[in-house]
Amino acid sequence: MVKAMYVHVPFCDSICAYCDFGRCKMQPQLADRWLTAIERELLKRQLPTAISTLYIGGGTPSALSVKQLDTLLTLLDDYAQQTEEYSVEANPENLSLEKLAVMKAHGVNRISLGVQSFNDQLIKRIERHHDKKRIDQALDQIHEAGIHNISIDLMYGLPDQTIAMLMEDLNLAANDERIKHISIYSLTIEEHSKFGRQKIAPCDNELEGTMYELIVKTLPEYGYQHYEISNFAKPGYESKHNQMYWRYEDYAGIGCGASGKENHIRYDRPFQLLNYLNDEEVFERLELSKSDEMFEFIMMGLRMKQGISLSRFEALFQCSLSDVYASAIHQNIARGWLLIEGDSLRPSEAGMTFLNDVLMAFMD
Ligand code: SF4
C-alpha cells in the first residue's frame, strides 16, 4: 500500500547553469493548465488517502503564485490528513510570507530551501538568483510562518569553489539554529545543462574527495548526524519522506517528470509537459523482478547509516540476505566496509564513502 507521495512541479523562474532536471521556465497560463492536469491525474488514479509523507518538489514549487499554490495544496488536502511529514521545496528568491501562510494553512510542516551556497560569487556563477542576505530573510520568514523543520540543500565541487569557501558554507549552515537538516551533493556536469554545453570541467576527483571528507567530519561536530550518504540532521529531523525511498517502500509519483514505485512496478510519468497536459499516457513502466527488487533494496538501504534490516529483507523476499549474498557480505566485512550488528547490515563510514564499490560485490 502506497504511503508516500511525490508531486513534481515542473516550473522554475529561471534555469540554473548546471540543471538538466525535468523543468521549464514559469509561464503562469501553462501553470494553470498544469494544475488542471494534476486534478485530472488525481481523479483518475484514485490513490489511497492514508499518506504518511507528502513531498512537493521540482522544479521550484515556490515559483507558483499564491493562488496557484493554494489550488495545488487544496487538490492535495485529502492526502494530507494523516501526513506525519509534509514538505515543500522552495527557493529563497520567490518565497514569501503569503506563500508560507498558504502552506502552513494546508498542513505543510517542512520546507526544503534551495540554498546551494552562501557565497554570493558562487551563487552567481551557477546562475541562481538569490544572495546570502535573501537566504537569511527566507529562513526568518519560514520561522515567522510557524514552520520550524527547515532543511537546506548545499552543493560542493562548484566551479572555482575552494576548500575555504566550502568551510565557510559549512560553518554558516551549521551555526544557524534555524537549520535542522542539510542535504549536500557534489556538482555533476550534465551533458544537456548549460555547463555541459560550455564544457565546464568537473571538479577534480581528489579535491571532491577531500571536500566530502571535510563535510563528513565537520557537520557531526555541530551535532548533525550523518544518517545518509549525502544527508545530515539534528536528532529527530531526519527526512521521513526520503527514508521511505531508502527503505524501499512504495511511493506514488504525481505530475510530469515524477517517478513512482508501486506493486513491483517502477514508472516515470510523462517527461514532457505538453504530453502531460494533453493526457498522453507516454510513460515508462518497468516490472521489477524479485532479483531486481532484492538488489535495489540493498542499494537503497546501504545509503543509510542504520543500514538494512535482515528480518525485513526475509519478510519481503522469503529468503535470507546472508544466504543469498554470503560472498558479497563477507568480502565487504573483510574490507571494513560493512558491519552486521544485531538485525542490521550497515555500512561503516568508509563503506558509505565507497558505496559503489560495496555494491559491485552484490552485483557479482
Ligand atoms: S536546479 Fe532546481 S531551481 Fe535550478 S533550474 Fe533546476 S530545477 Fe529549477
Ligand 1 center to 323 CA (angstroms): 43
The response to whether residue 23 sits with its C-beta less than 6 Å from ligand 1 reads: yes
State pLDDT tens for residues 299-351.
999 999 999 999 999 999 999 999 999 999 999 999 999 999 999 999 999 99
**Atom 7 of ligand 1, residue of closest alpha carbon:** 59
The response to whether residue 298 sits with its C-beta less than 6 Å from ligand 1 reads: no
Q: Report the C-alpha gap between 157 and 288 in whole angstroms.
A: 35
Burial 164-176 (b: 16+ CB within 10 A, else e): ebbeebbebbbeb
Q: Report the C-alpha gap between 279 and 341 in whole angstroms.
A: 49
Ligand 1 center to 84 CA (angstroms): 27
State pLDDT tens for residues 192-230.
999 999 999 999 999 999 999 999 999 999 999 999 999
**Predicted pLDDT at 282:** 63
DSSP 96-122: -HHHHHHHHHTT--EEEEEEE-S-HHH
**Predicted pLDDT at 284:** 83
Name the nearest CA neighbour of 186 among 112, 134, 126: 126
Q: List the chain residues with pLDDT less than 50.
A: none
State pLDDT tens for residues 133-143.
999 999 999 99
Ligand 1 center to 58 CA (angstroms): 7
**Which residue among 8, 11, 18, 21 is best mutated to probe the pocket of ligand 1, counting the most ligand atoms within 8 A of its Cβ?**
21
The response to whether residue 62 sits with its C-beta less than 6 Å from ligand 1 reads: no
What strands lie across the sheet with 338-341, from one edge to the other?
Answer: 308-309, 344-347, 338-341
**Predicted pLDDT at 22:** 74
Identify each DSSP E strand in 118-233 by its residue range.
149-156, 181-186, 225-228, 231-233
**Predicted pLDDT at 283:** 74
The response to whether residue 19 sits with its C-beta less than 6 Å from ligand 1 reads: yes
Domains of the chain: 4-245 (3.20.20.70), 306-364 (no CATH)
Q: Report the C-alpha gap between 284 and 298 in whole angstroms.
A: 23
Neighbours of 177 (CB within 10 A): 9
Q: Report the C-alpha gap between 157 and 153 in whole angstroms.
A: 14
